[in-house]
Structure 1
Amino acid sequence: MDQLVSRLLLYGDLGEEAILSKLAALFQAWKGSSMPRQTLVRGIYHQVKGLLDLATEYGFDENLWQNYLTFLLMTNENSFSLITERVGAQDGSVNHFARNDFRVFRALFHYDFSAVEGDLNLDCFTTLSHYKAIAKHGRRYNQNVSEKVRDLSRRLAAAPDDETFFRLVTEHYRQYGVGMLGLNKAFRIQSGPEGIGFIPIYNTDKVMLRDLVGYESQKAQLRHNTEAFLAGRSANNALLYGDAGTGKSSSVKALINEYYDQGLRMIEIYKHQFRDLSAVIAKVKNRNYRFIIFIDDLSFEENEVEYKFLKAVIEGGVETKPDNILLYATSNRRNLIRETWKDRADMEHENDVHHSDTLEEKLSLSARFGVRINYSIPNRTQFQEMVRTLAQRQGLTVPAEVLLAEANKWELRHGGVSGRTAQQFINYMGGASAPAFAGSGNQMEKRESPSPGEASI
């Protein structure tokens, strides 16, 4: 193994702490008898544990060794993988070195561990190669990454020759990209001594736009703008504003489920991170993805000045915002920055000679979102239609008059009519502890549970 790993060139920068690097060093020590056997076994077990931990995090199964090697190929950002992400496999001298590296990986895929296992009385690699993972809930591991790793791993293992192996890897780069940006749909950012880092969001809501009841014109506007963006046509930053609980955030989050396979990714940031926006854009502007920078529940109090960082990034800075980035924000305020009646009364601002300019500066932030979509609370008829539709999706069998009567009682106690209130009412109705309805003589029944994320508002 050590001789194979030492031949890697483009993919040789694995890091000293990588499992493959550590195992290669341990196998070299085993062949040279330069390490006590007990220490050698303990070192191998330590790396096997690391592989098991990685497999648990990403839901690997069947052949953990091949899954791990596939994961390395998917996530190693180098000159070849990054250019292939952007333009696909092209003729060039770099392909010679890539083919050599893939030949090494193909040999590692089918590496024979029997000699080291027999000599050290181990069976760990045999077990890893025929692994049966414990079933676990999809929210407890990165299911999206798991599915892609295992699928590509099976196809690489079955590749009959080096050229097929090369084609499978480069096709994956072109379709999904490379690194964690390629494998995941959404990210948060984290500042550290080495700059900005992206933290994958594993358990994204699986809601689709069709799951959101009502607001058809609003969803159509959002689709139109997003699809233009993905097609490389002119598109605008978008502000979804309006009443609480109307589905603004869910509409934006649904986009990554609708368009992930078309290269859409989402980066969620918070108000206190606006200073890092320029650094975030710098890290993603040359990647072959379309990024929505998502700001949820955006608003500013009168004394907060973070909005100036946001204004500079959206428009007005020296550097033009890259074509592969848009900002989508949600807010309960159309103008984003809190206004008071004092803002409307010039006499209250004796120390501000140019008060109208100050007011205009406050209002100009929302004007920098070219698409502004209003989500208002539904009327009574629309609310009842939401309740009926969600109840049907949930599989609830309750007489319509009873269902709507209970929904009316619920919304009076829980903040009024909205999509969120309708969903919370249906969640309550679907609970195992939901009581019989007083005076109706009808017990609530439930046929089946919806899939995760279904009918979220």
Structure 2
Amino acid sequence: MEQNELTTTLLALDSLSIYRGLLDDKVLSRLKSLISCINQATNEFRDVVNLYNDFYFELAKSGRVSLQEYIIDKIVFDENPFTFKPQAVQTGEYNNFLKKAVANDLKGLQQVSKLTSGMLKAEISEIFDNNSNKTFIEALPDWVSEFQPSNSPAHIQQIQELFSHSNHWDECLDELTHFHQNYGCGLFARYIAFVWEKSDGQGYLKGIDSPDPITLNELVEYQNERSRVIENTLQFLKGFPSNNVLLYGDRGTGKSSTVKAILNHYHTQGLRMVEVPKAYLADFPLIIRHLKNRAQKFIIFVDDLVFGDNEENYTSLKAVLEGGLESKTSNILIYATSNRRHLVKEYFSERAGLHSGNHSEEVHAGDSMQEKLSLADRFGINVVFSSPDQNRYLKIVEGIASTRDLKISKERLQREALQWALWYNGRSARTARQFVDWIEGHDSLENQDD
């Protein structure tokens, strides 16, 4: 390998402008340190070996053994002035200058991606031409130079393979722009579902690798209830006025599954979902700052929502629902589920407080009581999911069994479904699914034994 080829690779990294943040990436920063060390003939052999293995360790830790695949992945998901908000398309000279800078970076990153372990090891052997070093150099681990297909969703695989098959990455600029316009960048291009978590008091969005795969086609019955949520979601995605939604009612009726299935159905249209535990509702302003000005539409999902009498988190939710200055943003809605219509617990003692002579009671107890009762009203749409009667329960069972193509007589299916409901959790969509899971597994096991 010519010495100037190493220099060219270093210059390609130094020349990054729009993608300059990649220089802080652990893999690429260690690769740069390794090449710089090799380029300086005064360095010790041990230093080179250490830097080589530092780089390889970070590459392997990323889950990849292909440098080209790693760099393409970084290009696709990087957050920078080009990828962050491409829907706000700049016009005129500014846009042309930005495109030229991006094209130059793509050329440089392609240059870096062509670096192979064989090239580096050959250069190390030339510099440290010593028989005692030969064994150590040969033992240095190799990485794959070509692109390795991933298990990513189809739209991500498509842009990755476009780069891998291209001889000139700068010619992929239009397709890359289109990708970011449709799917955003960073975490929001990689994942469709997130959960808000906290570590050391700091909140952050954690991408969910395998969100619940439930689909709308798998949900049986409750079409009228579900259609109202779907219609509201479509209005939201198309930029029309839409409402926050509260889905409440009996347990196991499919409230949470409805919300998750809507995400799985519409994520290709730019829908994303962030689940926020009730304990972190006070973080709403911070969460909204993470999500506003993004290309995607976000549903903030709060599951099993109910507040105790002394909880103040509901004031944070109330402020967002009412649309304060901080929380007002057109790309965010709140979908919440609850088993109860009144989201804040109310006690008979509060009603007694309306006529109490007790000095410890609140003077305007009626105002507090009305505030608690009105929280659900602040959701624009309330959808009720009630426990099914026997006929509806059996229809749900039959519907689930049909989608799974189970070969079970209707008479037996109904008889055992009713017994299951008596033995376990009563009639509900969840009970129906649990029963079908059981009978499918039971029959499969028996058939295997036969």
TM (normalized to structure 1)? 0.85
Alignment partner of 2:102 out of 98, 105, 126 = 98
Matched, 1:358 2:368: yes
Residues 67 and 149 of structure 1 are in contact (CA less than 8 Å); yes or no, is this contact kept in structure 2?
no
Within 5 Å, give how 1:256-275 maps onto structure 2.
256-275=263-282
Residues 218 and 403 of structure 2 are in contact (CA less than 8 Å); yes or no, is this contact kept in structure 1?
no
Within 5 Å, give how 1:236-251 maps onto structure 2.
236-251=243-258
Alignment partner of 2:67 out of 61, 65, 76 = 65
Q: 1:131 to 1:237 in 2, by over 3 A?
A: closer
C-alpha distance in 1 between matches for 2:88 and 2:143: 38
Q: What's the counterpart of residue 39 of structure 2? A: 31
Alignment partner of 1:121 out of 128, 132, 138 = 138
C-alpha distance in 1 between matches for 2:327 and 2:293: 13
Q: What's the counterpart of residue 57 of structure 2? A: 49
Residues 252 and 428 of structure 2 are in contact (CA less than 8 Å); yes or no, is this contact kept in structure 1?
yes
Matched, 1:307 2:314: yes
Alignment partner of 1:400 out of 402, 410, 427 = 410
C-alpha distance in 2 between matches for 1:39 and 1:233: 60
C-alpha distance in 1 between matches for 2:315 and 2:145: 53
Deviation track 1:115-144 (CA, whole Å, cap 9, x = no partner) reads 2133343674454537699xxxxxxxxx54
> What percent identity do the matched residue pairs reach?
30
Residues 285 and 327 of structure 2 are in contact (CA less than 8 Å); yes or no, is this contact kept in structure 1?
no
C-alpha distance in 2 between matches for 1:27 and 1:264: 42
The worse-fitting range, judged by mean Cα deviation, of 377-386 and 238-247 is: 377-386
C-alpha distance in 1 between matches for 2:48 and 2:341: 64
Q: CA deviation at 1:50?
A: 2.4
C-alpha distance in 2 between matches for 1:301 and 1:224: 32
Matched, 1:426 2:436: yes
Q: CA deviation at 1:344?
A: 4.0
Question: What do you get for the CA RMSD once the two structures are aligned?
Answer: 2.7
SS at 2:20 equivalent: coil
Q: CA deviation at 1:432?
A: 5.2
Task: State the AA in 1 paired with 2:33.
Answer: A
Residues 238 and 373 of structure 1 are in contact (CA less than 8 Å); yes or no, is this contact kept in structure 2?
yes
Residues 222 and 385 of structure 2 are in contact (CA less than 8 Å); yes or no, is this contact kept in structure 1?
yes
Alignment partner of 1:202 out of 190, 199, 209 = 209
Q: What's the counterpart of residue 371 of structure 1? A: 381
Task: State the AA in 2 paired with 1:186.
Answer: A
Residues 163 and 172 of structure 2 are in contact (CA less than 8 Å); yes or no, is this contact kept in structure 1?
yes
Matched, 1:177 2:179: no
Residues 5 and 21 of structure 1 are in contact (CA less than 8 Å); yes or no, is this contact kept in structure 2?
no
SS at 2:21 equivalent: coil
Q: What's the counterpart of residue 328 of structure 1? A: 335
The worse-fitting range, judged by mean Cα deviation, of 240-249 and 157-166 is: 157-166
Deviation track 1:52-91 (CA, whole Å, cap 9, x = no partner) reads 2322xxxx6xx72222111211222111221325448984
C-alpha distance in 1 between matches for 2:416 and 2:257: 25
Residues 265 and 289 of structure 1 are in contact (CA less than 8 Å); yes or no, is this contact kept in structure 2?
yes
Task: State the AA in 2 paired with 1:364.
Answer: S
Task: State the AA in 2 paired with 1:98.
Answer: V
Task: State the AA in 1 paired with 2:138.
Answer: N
Q: 1:357 to 1:387 in 2, by over 3 A?
A: same
Q: CA deviation at 1:19?
A: 0.2
Q: 1:208 to 1:131 in 2, by over 3 A?
A: closer
Q: CA deviation at 1:149?
A: 4.8
Q: CA deviation at 1:47?
A: 2.4
Alignment partner of 2:27 out of 16, 19, 27 = 19
Alignment partner of 1:74 out of 73, 76, 83 = 76
Q: 1:208 to 1:348 in 2, by over 3 A?
A: farther
Deviation track 1:352-394 (CA, whole Å, cap 9, x = no partner) reads 3322211111112111100110011111011111111212223
Residues 69 and 148 of structure 2 are in contact (CA less than 8 Å); yes or no, is this contact kept in structure 1?
no
Task: State the AA in 2 paired with 1:68.
Answer: Y
SS at 1:83 equivalent: coil
Q: What's the counterpart of residue 161 of structure 2? A: 154
Deviation track 1:396-436 (CA, whole Å, cap 9, x = no partner) reads 22221111111111111111000100111111112258777
Q: CA deviation at 1:2?
A: 2.1
Q: 1:364 to 1:116 in 2, by over 3 A?
A: same
Alignment partner of 2:296 out of 279, 283, 289 = 289
Q: 1:130 to 1:45 in 2, by over 3 A?
A: farther
The worse-fitting range, judged by mean Cα deviation, of 67-76 and 34-43 is: 34-43
Matched, 1:166 2:173: yes
Q: CA deviation at 1:111?
A: 3.4
Query: Looking at CA atoms only, which structure, 1 or 2, has the larger radius of gyration?
Result: 2
| Structure 1 runs not aligned, ≥5 long | 134-142, 437-442, 447-457
SS at 2:304 equivalent: coil
SS at 1:267 equivalent: strand
C-alpha distance in 2 between matches for 1:198 and 1:204: 14
Q: 1:349 to 1:21 in 2, by over 3 A?
A: farther
Q: 1:4 to 1:327 in 2, by over 3 A?
A: same
Q: 1:382 to 1:236 in 2, by over 3 A?
A: same
SS at 1:236 equivalent: coil
Q: What's the counterpart of residue 227 of structure 1? A: 234
Q: CA deviation at 1:15?
A: 4.9
Residues 85 and 177 of structure 1 are in contact (CA less than 8 Å); yes or no, is this contact kept in structure 2?
no
SS at 2:86 equivalent: helix
Residues 309 and 346 of structure 2 are in contact (CA less than 8 Å); yes or no, is this contact kept in structure 1?
yes
SS at 1:2 equivalent: helix
Count how many residue pairs are aligned between Structure 1 and Structure 2. 424
Q: 1:17 to 1:37 in 2, by over 3 A?
A: farther
The worse-fitting range, judged by mean Cα deviation, of 327-336 and 354-363 is: 354-363
Q: 1:130 to 1:238 in 2, by over 3 A?
A: closer
Q: 1:144 to 1:205 in 2, by over 3 A?
A: farther
The worse-fitting range, judged by mean Cα deviation, of 352-361 and 199-208 is: 352-361
Q: What's the counterpart of residue 6 of structure 1? A: 14
C-alpha distance in 2 between matches for 1:316 and 1:86: 24
The worse-fitting range, judged by mean Cα deviation, of 176-185 and 163-172 is: 163-172
The worse-fitting range, judged by mean Cα deviation, of 384-393 and 8-17 is: 8-17
| Structure 2 runs not aligned, ≥5 long | 1-8, 126-136
